[in-house]
Structure 1
Amino acid sequence: MKEALIVWGGWAGHEPEQGAAVVKAMLEGEGFKVFTETTTEAFADPSIRDLSLIVPIVTMAKIEKEELANLSAAVRGGVGLGGYHGGMGDSFRDQPEYQFMVGGQWVAHPGNIIDYRVDVTRPDDPVMQGIASFPYRSEQYYMHVDPSNEVLATTRFSGEHAEWIDGTVMPVVWKRRHGKGRVFYSSLGHVAAEFEVPEMREILRRGLVWAAA
């Protein structure tokens, strides 16, 4: 049986506890044994190197040097890493090593909660198969991203809320490798209610399963 660890915490506005519950049920539905923790101290446990998947749901928090070193080593050794929105893409702002592993870092969401479009760019990929481009209402994440990411979906900024980025195409969903580990990220999911959007939920479910393979 595959085993997954969810670590939730940080800024309460992203509803990490509620999101962790949804992800836990999702993974259990895929046959995972799921552990949940509420402190980054869990990342320092040497046993995480035996897991199939780690899901951080921690926004704007701090992580100790030894915790990050052990987490990074686990992923480089083959443990999958997957997550969504600020829970993974804006976790530890002062840790470039973490951002190198994730493949990006949130920097802005002009206009806050707005209507925008998610464009599927890799319909042939198993994570995106059968999912067409779709409208979405949430924070439209502007991120600093790694050019080595394998981008599966993007969004285009209109410039309405920041005219100098008009027309900028930004990755929304990507996967990558970090050492031997598979890494998956989706910027969708500001609050737990967004899991009710079928495309958002299915993309994350498939992505987490892929990362754990």
Structure 2
Amino acid sequence: MREALIVWGGWSGHEPQECAEIIKDMLEEDGFKVYLEHSTEAFADPSIHDLSLIVPIMTMSKIEKEEVKNLAAAVQNGVGIAGYHGGAGDAFRESVDYQFIIGGQWVAHPGNIIDYTVNITRPDDPLMEGIADFPYTSEQYYMHVDPSNEVLATTTFTGDHAYWIDGVVMPVVWKRKYGEGRVFYSSLGHQAKEFDVPQMKTIFRRGANWAAR
């Protein structure tokens, strides 16, 4: 049986506990044995090297050097990691080692909660099969991203809230490798209710299963 670890915490505005429970149920439906932890100390545990998947939900927060070192080693040796929104893309701002794993870092969401469009750029990829471009209402994440990411979906900024980024095409969903480990990230998912959006939930679910070894 595949085993997954969800580590939740950080900024409460992203409803980390509620989202952790949603993802736990999702993964259990897909046959995982799921563990929940509420401290970054879990990343330092040698047993994470035996997992199939790690899901960090730790907006902002801090991670100790020995914790991120062990996490990086586990992923490099084949443990998958799947994350979303600020729980993964705005976690541990001071840790460049962590950002190297994820492949990006949030820097802004001009306009806060707004209406925008998610454009599927790789409809041929199994993670995006049957999903067309769709409207979305949430924070439109502006991120600094790794050019080695394999981008599966993007969004285009209008400039209405920051005129100098008008027309910028920004990755929303990507997958990548970190050593032998598979990394999946989606910037969608500001709060738990966004898992009610079928496309958002399906994309994350497929991404987590793809990342898991």
Report the TM-score, using the length of structure 2 for normalisation: 1.00
Q: CA deviation at 1:4?
A: 0.1
Match of 1:137, SS? strand
Q: Using the alignment, how far apart are the partners of 2:143 and 2:92 within structure 1?
A: 14
Give the aligned residue type for 1:123.
P
Task: Find the counterpart in structure 1 of residue 139 from structure 2.
Answer: 139
Give the aligned residue type for 1:129.
E
Q: Using the alignment, how far apart are the partners of 2:167 and 2:99 within structure 1?
A: 25
Q: Deviations over 1:85-124 (max 9, x none)?
A: 0000000000001001100000000000000000000000
Structure 1 gaps, min length 5: none
Over the aligned positions, Cα root-mean-square deviation in angstroms equals 0.3
Structure 2 gaps, min length 5: none
Q: CA deviation at 1:44?
A: 0.3
Task: Find the counterpart in structure 2 of residue 188 from structure 1.
Answer: 188
Give the aligned residue type for 1:147.
P
Task: Find the counterpart in structure 1 of residue 53 from structure 2.
Answer: 53
Q: Using the alignment, how far apart are the partners of 1:28 and 1:132 within structure 2?
A: 27
Moved over 2 A (4+): none
**Paired residues for 1:21-60 under 5 Å:** 21-60=21-60
Q: Using the alignment, how far apart are the partners of 1:212 and 1:12 within structure 2?
A: 27
Q: Deviations over 1:25-59 (max 9, x none)?
A: 00000000000000000000000000000000000
Q: CA deviation at 1:69?
A: 0.3
Q: Using the alignment, how far apart are the partners of 1:119 and 1:166 within structure 2?
A: 16
Q: CA deviation at 1:146?
A: 0.2
**Paired residues for 1:171-182 under 5 Å:** 171-182=171-182
Q: How many residues align?
A: 213
Q: Using the alignment, how far apart are the partners of 1:165 and 1:208 within structure 2?
A: 31
Q: Deviations over 1:146-197 (max 9, x none)?
A: 0000000000000000000000000000000000000000000000000000
Identity of aligned residues (%): 73
Q: Deviations over 1:113-151 (max 9, x none)?
A: 000000000000000000000000000000000000000
Q: Using the alignment, how far apart are the partners of 2:97 and 2:7 within structure 1?
A: 18
Give the aligned residue type for 2:105.
Q
Give the aligned residue type for 1:29.
E
